[in-house]
Amino acid sequence: MKKEINKYVTWVGKTDWELKKFHGDEFTTNKGSSYNSYLIQDEKNVLIDTVWLPYDKEFVENLKQTIDLNKIDAIIIQHGEVDHSGALVELMKEIPNTPIYCTQNGIQSIKGQYHQDWNFIPVKTGDTLNIGKNTLTFIEAPMLHWPDTMFTYMNQEQILFSNDGFGQHLASEHLYADEVEQEDLWGQALTYYANILAPFGMLVKKKIKEILEMNLPIKMICPSHGLIWRKSPEQIIQKYLKWSENYQENQITIIYDTMWNSTRKIAELIVEGIQKIDKTVTIKIINSSKDDKTEILTQVFKSKAILVGSPTVNNGYLYSIAGILEMIKGMKLKDKKAVAFGSYGWSGEATKLITEELRKAGLEIINDGIKVLWTPNEEIKKICNEFGKNIIKKL
């Protein structure tokens, strides 16, 4: 279904209400998503990005209702990932000679996935495409979040097409960010940043500063997922700047898994200790085997410290903790503290092993952690309380 944005630009994407998992099973998308494709009709007609592969035929059929495909003069693929390039094969069957503008890395990525030698035109930052009243300027944005990513700026309408940048996995009947429930919107924008862009924080900051220095007036930001920022788009730019600067709130997140509740009890005793010293700090307590990993990573991103606990099992730790530790490592977090804890019956390696993984993830280790034999008795309960108190004193 097409939706008109202004006299030149029409949204021709796909709202995916069903999407619950993204990147395989890496990202939980409980609120669905959208694949935003934009058709610009000026003296020349240009399509920016397509949609995810399963919707390719539907996309092309819908596009035909909006424009005679032979009148499309150019296709811009800002990023080769299949959620944006997925309908290319179907589309190019109809218009095989249409030039595809993308970065040099984009050409490699698209060729690598679709094995087609289409009419690629490589572009770099500052290259332009005159389409009539408007000129499109390309801005490379490597590693935000793939090497091939770029943004496109439409000068007269002052629109920044930002691909994954500033996006949200949020399906909506609306088109604009100001039309939806704001807590949902900002929550999803943060979740998106934490789970997709956090590892590239330094590059996000650098790219935003570069764009701000270009002094491009930006009236609207059109991302390739979720809602369009049309009222005060600088709000999301400022949020990205904040999130890219080793972001943290006054929050501690405690992530544990447990076999027979001993590690859970230790987690709760540590929390008791923390709260005896500081009642203002937000504490999130999460069982990693029961809660969603995308939510866990979002809470980790918001935290100034994380505590990770597991019982020792087969000389290691439980698999849900292993998965979360691997994902935390990938976030490349800076300026966050961490500590491990866990219960054991005999060998008791988990706390030490988790500490090592947290260190490898770049977190500042508060201390060697705590391990408790079997279940906490009255004396150990006090020790766990003290452990919590000492952690908060060190933050």
Long-range contacts of 124-131 (CB under 8 A, 24+ apart): 125/150, 129/46, 129/74, 129/76, 129/101, 130/44, 131/40, 131/42, 131/43, 131/44, 131/45, 131/46, 131/73, 131/74
308: number of Cβ within 10 Å: 31
Establish whether 292 is a catalytic residue: no
**Shortest CB 386 distance to ligand FEO, Å:** 46
Q: Does 81 bind ligand FEO (CB under 6 A)?
A: yes
**Shortest CB 181 distance to ligand FEO, Å:** 23
Task: Return the structure tokens found at 320.
Answer: 């849900």
Establish whether 81 is a catalytic residue: yes
Catalytic residue among 16, 49, 81, 357: 81
C-alpha 234/C-alpha 245 separation (Å) is 17
Establish whether 23 is a catalytic residue: yes
Give the one residue of 42, 56, 140, 164 binding ligand FEO; rule: CB under 6 A: 164
Catalytic residue among 35, 79, 101, 344: 79
**Shortest CB 324 distance to ligand FEO, Å:** 22
Catalytic residue among 101, 192, 240, 247: 192
What kind and span of H or E run contains 241?
helix 234-243
C-alpha 52/C-alpha 3 separation (Å) is 18
Q: Does 34 bind ligand FEO (CB under 6 A)?
A: no
3-state secondary structure of 62: helix
Give the one residue of 16, 83, 257, 357 binding ligand FEO; rule: CB under 6 A: 83
Q: Does 42 bind ligand FEO (CB under 6 A)?
A: no
Closer residue to ligand FEO in complex, CB, 171/358: 171
Task: Return the structure tokens found at 282.
Answer: 């937000």
Length reported for the chain: 395
Task: Return the structure tokens found at 53.
Answer: 């592969």
Q: Does 169 bind ligand FEO (CB under 6 A)?
A: no
Residue 177, phi-psi category: left (phi > 0), alpha (psi -120 to 50), beta (remainder): alpha
Q: Does 224 bind ligand FEO (CB under 6 A)?
A: yes
Instruction: Return the closest-CA partner of residue 161 out of 149, 147, 177.
Output: 149
- Report which residue's Cβ sits closest to ligand FEO: 81
Establish whether 84 is a catalytic residue: no
Query: 322 near 313, Cβ under 8 Å?
Result: no
Closer residue to ligand FEO in complex, CB, 15/224: 224
Q: Does 225 bind ligand FEO (CB under 6 A)?
A: yes
Binders of ligand FEO among 344-363, rule CB under 6 A? none
Binding mask 84-123 for ligand FEO (x = CB under 6 A): x---------------------------------------
Establish whether 83 is a catalytic residue: yes
C-alpha 267/C-alpha 275 separation (Å) is 12
Establish whether 225 is a catalytic residue: yes
Sites of contact with ligand FEO (CB under 6 A)? 79, 81, 83-84, 145-146, 164, 224-225
Q: Point out the residues that are catalytic.
A: 23, 79, 81, 83, 145, 164, 192, 225
